[in-house]
């Protein structure tokens, strides 16, 4: 029973018959899609950290995983936090005065906070300082991911040559498994053919590190945009459901009970058969891009090197 006040949690049923139903639902579903995307990517980075910790790859943790997590949280994690704050701070009565998150994100990278009386205005004290710090932190994480690991590996390689010669490079660079393939499907110090450490190439390592950095930074944006397809699919299914109800279900229920139920059964049977025939006739094999979508998504977070199934017991025994 409606008590005269908007519901504190959930969606009020009155939105179903309101004139601005579509803009409101679009905004809500868009925010939910972004939240799911950020949580998914954050979960993937945490799994990457656990994987590095399992193999005791400390260099990958401090020089790759940590800046990746900070980059994700400083931009997209902050956006999710502001979404929840906006939902809690503004009610239905003062929703018109709520700041625009899109303008806030744009002004965040422009360092522009002087828009007074506009939906892009700040809505909490210290917002300019916090957002400026987060942008600087995100920008700092890019060279951190790109330069730190190759330079540290080069330093260890040079130190190993100066101390013990080429024979001691393996013990100096190994660092409990750091020489194994990390962050990019490549070897930091040797390739898949098992070359020795005296063949360490800084230029090649820098190229791989640059590719991984660019791929991750752009992947955060593209993966968030990919999750917006959830919003688009939800919108399409909602509209189809309304059409199905107004043009089929409601018309069938208005007819006599026996004839209406028979008509609905026939309509759904024909529709199901037509859909099955269309799928069998027009079904196309998945494209290579579609088949590699899951691989590309996982590739942004893991090297996907793997090992032979026969080596599983060997790896477990080593642990």
**Nearest CA to 146 among 75, 206, 69, 194?**
206
Q: How far is residue 281 from each of residues 112, 134, 242, 272, 274, measured CA to CA in Å?
A: 55, 52, 28, 14, 11
Show the beta-strand stretches assigned E in the chain. none
pTM of the model: 0.71
How much is the pLDDT for 272?
Answer: 66
SS3 readout for 124-177: CCCHHHHHHHHHHHHHHHHHHHHHHHHHHHHHHHHHHHHHHCHHHHHHHHHCCC
How much is the pLDDT for 179?
Answer: 47
What is the per-residue burial (b if ≥16 Cβ within 10 Å, else e) of 137-165? bbeebeebbbebbbebbbebbeebbeeee
Count of Cβ atoms closer than 10 Å to residue 237 Cβ:
10
Q: Could you tell me if residue 176 is inside a domain?
A: yes
Q: Could you tell me if residue 27 is inside a domain?
A: yes
Q: How far is residue 66 from each of residues 61, 138, 143, 198, 200, measured CA to CA in Å?
A: 6, 12, 13, 29, 25
Question: Helix or strand or coil: residue 190?
Answer: coil
Give the pair of three-digit tokens for residue 164: 């013990």
Q: Could you tell me if residue 90 is inside a domain?
A: yes
Distance between alpha carbon 194 and the CA centroid of its chain, in Å?
A: 34
Cα–Cα distance measured from residue 202 to residue 156, given in angstroms and rounded to the nearest whole number: 12
How much is the pLDDT for 308?
Answer: 59
Count of Cβ atoms closer than 10 Å to residue 300 Cβ:
20
Cα–Cα distance measured from residue 226 to residue 230, given in angstroms and rounded to the nearest whole number: 8
Q: Could you tell me if residue 12 is inside a domain?
A: no
How much is the pLDDT for 285?
Answer: 52
Give the pair of three-digit tokens for residue 306: 């793997």
3-state helix, strand, coil in the chain (%, to 5): 75, 0, 25
Q: How far is residue 202 from each of residues 33, 36, 171, 282, measured CA to CA in Å?
A: 41, 38, 19, 51
Spatial CB neighbours of 272, under 8 Å, sequence gap ≥ 6: none
Asked if residue 234 lies in contact with residue 226, where contact means CB atoms within 8 angstroms, the answer is no
Query: DSSP string covering 54-93, please?
Result: HTT-HHHIIIIIHHHHHHHIIIIIHHHHHHHHHHHH--ST
Q: Could you tell me if residue 15 is inside a domain?
A: no
Q: What is the pLDDT along the chain (319 residues), one digit of tens a residue?
A: 556 676 777 777 777 788 888 888 888 888 988 999 999 899 999 999 999 999 899 999 999 999 999 999 999 999 999 999 888 888 767 777 788 888 888 888 888 776 555 555 667 888 889 999 999 999 999 999 999 999 999 888 888 765 555 444 555 555 544 544 444 444 444 433 333 445 778 888 999 999 999 989 998 888 888 888 778 788 877 778 777 777 777 776 677 767 777 777 777 777 666 656 655 555 555 444 444 555 555 555 555 555 555 555 565 555 5
Q: Could you tell me if residue 259 is inside a domain?
A: no
How much is the pLDDT for 189?
Answer: 43
Torsion of CA 85, 90, 91, 94, to 10 degrees: -170
Q: How many CA atoms lie within 13 A of 51 on its CB side?
A: 19
CA angle 58, 60, 65 (to 5 degrees): 115
Structural domain span for residue 241: 22-247+284-318
Q: Could you tell me if residue 8 is inside a domain?
A: no
Asked if residue 231 lies in contact with residue 33, where contact means CB atoms within 8 angstroms, the answer is yes
CA angle 46, 49, 53 (to 5 degrees): 140
Q: How many domains does the structure of the chain reveal?
A: 1
């Amino acid at each position: 029973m409606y008590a005269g006040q908007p519901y504190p949690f959930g969606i009020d049923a009155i939105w179903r018959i309101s004139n601005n139903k579509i803009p409101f639902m679009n905004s809500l579903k868009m925010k939910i899609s972004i939240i799911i995307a950020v949580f998914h990517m954050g979960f993937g980075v945490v799994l990457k950290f656990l994987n590095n910790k399992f193999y005791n790859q400390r260099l990958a943790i401090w020089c790759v995983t940590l800046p990746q997590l900070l980059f994700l949280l400083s931009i997209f994690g902050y956006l999710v936090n502001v979404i929840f704050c906006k939902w809690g701070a503004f009610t239905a009565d003062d929703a018109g005065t709520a700041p625009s998150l899109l303008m806030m994100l744009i002004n965040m990278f422009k360092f522009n906070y002087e828009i007074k009386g506009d939906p892009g205005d700040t809505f909490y004290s210290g917002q300019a300082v916090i957002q400026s710090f987060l942008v600087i932190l995100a920008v700092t994480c890019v060279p951190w991911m790109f330069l730190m690991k190759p330079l540290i590996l080069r330093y260890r390689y040079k130190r190993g040559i100066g101390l013990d010669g080429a024979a001691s490079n393996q013990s100096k660079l190994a660092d409990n498994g750091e020489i194994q393939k990390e962050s990019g499907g490549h070897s930091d110090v040797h390739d898949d053919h098992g070359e020795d450490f005296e063949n360490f190439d800084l230029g090649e390592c820098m190229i791989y590190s640059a590719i991984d950095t660019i791929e991750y930074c752009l992947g955060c944006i593209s993966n968030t945009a990919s999750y917006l397809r959830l919003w688009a699919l939800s919108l399409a299914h909602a509209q189809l459901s309304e059409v199905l109800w107004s043009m089929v279900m409601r018309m069938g229920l208005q007819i006599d009970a026996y004839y209406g139920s028979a008509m609905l059964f026939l309509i759904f049977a024909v529709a199901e058969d037509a859909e099955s025939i269309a799928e069998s006739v027009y079904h196309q094999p998945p494209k290579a891009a579609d088949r590699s979508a899951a691989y590309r998504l996982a590739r942004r977070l893991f090297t996907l090197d793997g090992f032979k199934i026969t080596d599983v017991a060997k790896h477990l025994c080593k642990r």
